Chain A
Amino acid sequence: MEAHDAARVPTLHAAGISKRWGENRVLDDAELSIAGGEVVALVGKNGVGKTTLLRIAAGVLAPDVGRIRVLGLDPAADRREFQRRIGYLSAGSVGLWARLTAEQNLELWAAFALLRRARRRTAIAASLELFGLSELARQRVDRMSMGQRQRVRLAMAFLHDPALVILDEPANSLDEDALELIGNALEGLVARGGGALWCAPVPPDAPQVTRLCALEAGRVVAR
């Protein structure tokens, strides 16, 4: 992560974001900025567009209107560098290669994240340890509990040392110990000058959250 970049420009800057699904305008000129060292919680009722906004911020969905920047990087102009700086936990329990082990999932993601070969082993071991998965590293994902799978997904989100971590309902299926692991990971991220966006239907019970926002009528409002 480039801490000097984080100090100069917002980690995430979303401006004038609008998105429509059919007749339903889910986001309407939404604005959101996250500075380095901030952990922002975004709450809102089911179906208000939280996941849509997160997907746009993560670069996996294009807005109809508006612009998104991560450390000043435009996904349309420099997609690779944009994605390199983002750690993304998608909604639900998807995005794992179920018949591979936790370690093999992380190995594959490390390759997709273009981590240098020399760095991969250390990064994978660190991420497994961060989420209490060292003992489960060689267990196949389809033989894990939902909570353990969620921890593998979280380990993938933090693996490549991103500047911005986007988490869509990360507390799903997690017990108290695992929630503490997310807190530790966020503390490490913030200490390195990174930022995080934590999305949930209700405010998360996490001391690391520095600011609470809500999505209402397509816009982000402070709480």
Chain B
Amino acid sequence: MNGLADVAGVTLAVVRRDARLFVSYRLRFVTQLLTALFTLTLFYYLSRLVNVRSFAGPDQYFGFAVVGLVIVQVLNSSIALPPVNLRQELVAGTFERWVASPAGAPVVSVATLVFPFLLSVLTALIMLGLGSLLFGLNVQWVTVPLVIPASVLGFLAFAPFGVLVMAVVIVAKQALGATTFIVAGMSLVAGLYFPVSLLPGWIRWASEVQPFTPAVELMRFALLGRPLEHSVWADLAQLALFPAILFPVSIFALRGALAAGLRRGTIFEY
């Protein structure tokens, strides 16, 4: 492969395909918007009940929860969706094409993560817009540009988990239990819906050893002006460290799973 140019070409082709498939289901985007609206409404009214020391008032908790919901979108797109999509490719016999292609299954697999991420960013922006317009969410526009590096780094940090789950699907054919466990676990320890300071001391370490907590904190800082526990640079560095370590590990695991799939014939499910 001619290096990055070919990888970029394959990624672009896969993103274009996924966009075409997405728009071919005409009601999908509408239902996604409605889901976002209902979720915002639910959390808005839940926030009216919040009157605790951790938050200045219901509006502050609502903003806190909205950013958590935004991160859940990205979390789902990078961890929960890839195995579902991969399984569809296995059943449709198109995964065999990835394997038989000169580009190779690892490159195509990683490329399939991009469109769901872009879509989750769009959905997140719409949620923020709706939150702001309909429910008075107070977005700090001055620090909003920081969202761009934080979300890109966040995606790069989350994506290896998606690649690892894809590796599991190639070998074991199913990974729904694993993704549910990861997303639910991260929702708890990364402070998506409540501050991690409320967690008992024995589990608090878990909020420091994964990339989701710094991503959430950076997003809350950028969007709501909520103070950071560490500095911006410390959180960005922590976020950058995870993909640097996890990406090579996840690609190694994916290649291992593919080698096993080629031996055991688990890439054919049709």
Chain A interfacial positions (CB closer than 8 Å to B): 21, 55, 58-62, 64, 79-81, 83-84, 86, 88, 90, 92, 94-100, 104, 107-109, 111-114, 117, 160
Partner of B267, one of A60, A80, A88, A107: A60
Partner of B10, one of A61, A84, A90, A112: A112
> Could you tell me if A114 and B13 are in contact, using CB atoms closer than 8 angstroms?
no
Write the chain A residue with the least CB distance to B23.
A99
A223: shortest Cβ distance to chain B, in Å?
28
The number of residues on chain B lying at the interface, defined by a beta carbon within 8 Å of a beta carbon of chain A, is: 32
A81: shortest Cβ distance to chain B, in Å?
8
Jot down 30 A-B pairs with beta carbons below 8 A, ordered by A: A58-B100, A62-B263, A79-B104, A81-B102, A83-B101, A84-B102, A86-B100, A92-B93, A94-B93, A94-B94, A94-B96, A95-B92, A95-B93, A97-B92, A97-B94, A99-B21, A100-B20, A104-B17, A107-B13, A111-B9, A111-B12, A111-B103, A112-B97, A112-B103, A113-B103, A114-B1, A114-B2, A114-B6, A114-B9, A160-B102
A residues near B102, Cβ cutoff 8 Å: 80-81, 83-84, 112-114, 160
Write the chain A residue with the least CB distance to B262.
A62
Bound complex: CA A55 to CA B266 (Å): 12
Write the chain B residue with the least CB distance to A142.
B24
A residues near B265, Cβ cutoff 8 Å: 21, 55, 61
* CB under 8 Å from chain A, chain B span 100-114: 100-104, 108
> Could you tell me if A94 and B270 are in contact, using CB atoms closer than 8 angstroms?
yes
| 1/0 contact string of B152-165 vs chain A (CB within 8 Å) | 00000000000000
Write the chain B residue with the least CB distance to A112.
B101
* CB under 8 Å from chain A, chain B span 222-270: 259, 262-263, 265, 267-268, 270
Bound complex: CA A117 to CA B6 (Å): 10
B residues near A117, Cβ cutoff 8 Å: 9
B98, CB-defined interface residue at 8 Å: yes
**Across chains A and B, which 4 residue pairs bring their CB atoms closest together, nearest first?**
A94-B93, A111-B13, A112-B101, A95-B93
B residues near A108, Cβ cutoff 8 Å: 13-14, 17
A residues near B21, Cβ cutoff 8 Å: 97, 99-100
> Could you tell me if B92 and A104 are in contact, using CB atoms closer than 8 angstroms?
no
B24: shortest Cβ distance to chain A, in Å?
5
B28: shortest Cβ distance to chain A, in Å?
12
B147, CB-defined interface residue at 8 Å: no
A residues near B10, Cβ cutoff 8 Å: 111-112, 114
B99, CB-defined interface residue at 8 Å: yes
A residues near B98, Cβ cutoff 8 Å: 112
Bound complex: CA A21 to CA B268 (Å): 14
Bound complex: CA A109 to CA B97 (Å): 8
> Could you tell me if A97 and B93 are in contact, using CB atoms closer than 8 angstroms?
no
Bound complex: CA A24 to CA B14 (Å): 38
Bound complex: CA A83 to CA B108 (Å): 14
Write the chain A residue with the least CB distance to B9.
A111
> Could you tell me if B101 and A96 are in contact, using CB atoms closer than 8 angstroms?
no
